[in-house]
Amino acid sequence: VEFYAPWCPACKSFQEVWQEFADWASISNTVNVAQVNILNAPELNGRFLVFSLPSIFHVRDGVYRYYDMSRNLEELQDFVVGQHHDKFQPIPAYMAPDSFMMAVVGHFFALAAKVRNFQNLLTNTYGLPYWFAYI
């Protein structure tokens, strides 16, 4: 699973590689590949605790691992085919996206997005000064 943002320069440069990887995975039927736009899914972003972009997670059988190897097609393919994901430490159970604690964190991320949207409504639509949204 890749987490990205449309405004992120690193995400834009990685997009072609990720698409090639997704095409390869689809043809070879080795792994399911997904993308998450963090602007459209703030709760999921919070559950995975994404702080850098693009972020890649390997998810298999309820075990979550953060991918921090090279971002080229060959490395991604080798990671899957070579079963290198077993060499990576799984995310601890209490920090896993399906844990209770991370569900709470996800709700806070979603709430923060709603507050941001409300502030944008007040400032951009109604023309109120930014400081007004904090009252």
Instruction: Let me know if 3 is a catalytic residue.
Output: no
Among 8, 17, 53, 128, which one carries the catalytic annotation? Answer: 8
Tell me which H or E stretch contains 35.
Answer: strand 35-37
Query: How far is it, in rounded angstroms, from Cα 64 to Cα 94?
Result: 11
Annotated active-site residue in 2, 3, 5, 11:
11
Catalytic status, residue 11: yes
Beta bridge partners of 102: none
The number of C-alpha atoms within 13 Å of 17 and in the hemisphere containing its C-beta is 16
The identity of residue 1, as a single letter, is V
Q: For residue 3, give the H/E element and its range.
A: strand 2-4
Tell me the catalytic residues: 8, 11
